[in-house]
A and B are shown apart, each in its own frame.
Chain A
Amino acid sequence: SAVISQKPSRDICQRGTSLTIQCQVDSQVTMMFWYRQQPGQSLTLIATANQGSEATYESGFVIDKFPISRPNLTFSTLTVSNMSPEDSSIYLCSALRELNTEAFFGQGTRLTVV
């Protein structure tokens, strides 16, 4: 299995500001993803973080709001830009070591926008 370190674990931010969440994997992985989870809801995929190129965003999510970087095979960041209270959620990064294998998750970032 892979170990994913995600930080910060939680933050309270002012509306209009931006927060960058980081994920570091302890070994090289094939794919990395970012999810959002509203309270009591399931996981919603935001985007696939592609190494060395622009992320692939799901419907309803755009690069200007959620810029993503993945400079190498072990690290990715998600920025939540120009935050509003509606962005309050848990953000999770995930990784696949190989295709068709299980996904591993970071510890999550609980974001509250006030």
Chain B
Amino acid sequence: QKEVEQNSGPLSVPEGAIASLNCTYSDRGSQSFFWYRQYSGKSPELIMFIYSNGDKEDGRFTAQLNKASQYVSLLIRDSQPSDSATYLCAVNSGNTPLVFGKGTRLSVIA
């Protein structure tokens, strides 16, 4: 059974701080890793994807992958109230559907 684990939160950070979201996965054969943001009542939207070990930066977002530890994280710098949402970690192992974690609810306090 392929599993993706996330802390459900809520994670509360003050505006301007760094929010750190973490995710672990069980399948060592996983090849691609994704972070989605989901606002209440909306469908998930892709924020970042990462395929290789290390860091990948896109604006205020940095995804970090450590395949040896089966760990992927998302850092949000200069957090804004508009970043308040549920963040879903998803993992893909090739010709299979994405496996989603339960999501971490982030609250950025103004």
Contact = CB atoms under 8 A, between A and B. Distances in A.
The 4 A-B pairs at the shortest CB distance, nearest first, are namely A42-B102, A105-B43, A108-B43, A100-B32
Contacts of A53: none
B25 interface: no
Nearest to A108: B43
B90 interface: yes
Contacts of A33: 97
B46 interface: yes
A81 B58 CA distance: 43
A107 interface: yes
- What secondary structure prevails in chain B residues at the interface with A? loop
Contacts of B100: 42-43
B44 A105 contact: yes
A102 B43 contact: no
A99 B34 contact: no
A102 B34 contact: yes
A65 B103 CA distance: 27
Given A101-B49, A105-B45, 14 more contacts: A1-B46, A33-B97, A42-B100, A43-B88, A43-B100, A96-B98, A100-B94, A102-B46, A103-B98, A104-B46, A105-B43, A105-B44, A106-B43, A110-B41
B44 A101 contact: no
A19 to B, nearest CB: 18
B43 A107 contact: yes
Interface in A6-45: 31, 33, 41-43, 45
Interface string B21-65: 000000000011010000001111110010100000000000000
Interface in A57-111: 92, 94, 96, 99-108, 110
Contacts of A107: 42-43
Given A43-B100, A45-B97, A108-B42, A101 B32 contact: yes
